[in-house]
Amino acid sequence: MALSIKNSHNRYGLATITLHWVMALVIISMYPLGLYIDSLGYYDAAYKTVPHWHKSIGMILLALLVVRLLWRMITPQPQALPQPAMLHLATKVAHLSIYILMIVALLSGYMISTADGRAIAVFNWFEIPALPAVIDQQEDVAGLVHYWITTALIALAGVHALAALKHHFINKDQTLSRMMGMPQETNQ
């Protein structure tokens, strides 16, 4: 059966799959980009461009995350594939933690960039206004939070990817293939 936009009771649909993989790829690429920014000096040529790309892409990620969360509320969630109750719970906790880490990573980035009251220019295309700073030394505090939260996010995403590969190659179930939009072998 062709893949539909919405999820069904046993399959992820095109929208969920596209959002998952586009965001995964972009988030993973943002991590080395951020570390590179941190290594730049004020007089490096890249200082004028790379932080701008990092912030612009980050704001697009924030918009995608809002769309993803709203979409998750209105599209059905496919039935969980059978696994022991403890692993089922661990999967739920891991997914919830990934969502929370994504939110904090993106908001802390916004808080670093707008701490001085300047708006964020998204690829010189439109501007996201700055909200007033809410904590003392916001740029430094949000910078520290941003580093540790994005590091935790990438580490957890690594464990999450290993879990997906374990399902595929060891349990030989459809966890990974249904996130790739492959036709399901049973229960069509």
Interface with ligand HEM, residue 179, by CB under 6 A: yes
The candidate with the shortest Cα–Cα distance to 163, out of 76, 69, 81, 61, is: 81
Rounded Cα–Cα distance for residues 38 and 58 (Å): 16
Query: Do the Cβ atoms of 37 and 50 come closer than 8 Å?
Result: yes
> CB of 68: closest distance to ligand HEM in angstroms?
8
Q: Which amino acid is present at 174? A: Q
Helices (H) and strands (E) in the chain, counts: 5, 2
What's the token pair of residue 38?
Answer: 């941190």
What's the token pair of residue 128?
Answer: 């996201």
Interface with ligand HEM, residue 72, by CB under 6 A: yes
CA-CA distances (angstroms) from residue 167 to 52, 159, 183? 39, 12, 17
CA angle 105/154/103 to nearest 5° reads 25
Q: In the set 19, 64, 98, 115, which binds ligand HEM (CB under 6 A)?
A: 98
- Give the DSSP H/E element, type plus range, for residue 19: helix 14-39
Indicate the residue among 1 and 164 with the shorter CB distance to ligand HEM.
Answer: 164
**Per-position DSSP letters for 51-81, written without gaps between them:** HHHHHHHHHHHHHHHHHHHHHHHHSPPPPPP
Interface with ligand HEM, residue 58, by CB under 6 A: yes
What's the token pair of residue 144?
Answer: 């520290």
Interface with ligand HEM, residue 11, by CB under 6 A: no
Binding mask 28-57 for ligand HEM (x = CB under 6 A): x-xx--xx-xx------------x--xx--
Indicate the residue among 2 and 102 with the shorter CB distance to ligand HEM.
Answer: 102
Interface with ligand HEM, residue 149, by CB under 6 A: no
Interface with ligand HEM, residue 20, by CB under 6 A: yes
Indicate the residue among 6 and 31 with the shorter CB distance to ligand HEM.
Answer: 31
Interface with ligand HEM, residue 105, by CB under 6 A: yes
Indicate the residue among 13 and 59 with the shorter CB distance to ligand HEM.
Answer: 59
* Contact footprint for ligand HEM (CB under 6 A): 20, 24, 27-28, 30-31, 34-35, 37-38, 51, 54-55, 58-59, 61-62, 72, 91, 95, 98-99, 102, 105-106, 109-110, 112-113, 120, 143, 146-147, 150, 157, 160-161, 164-165, 175-176, 179
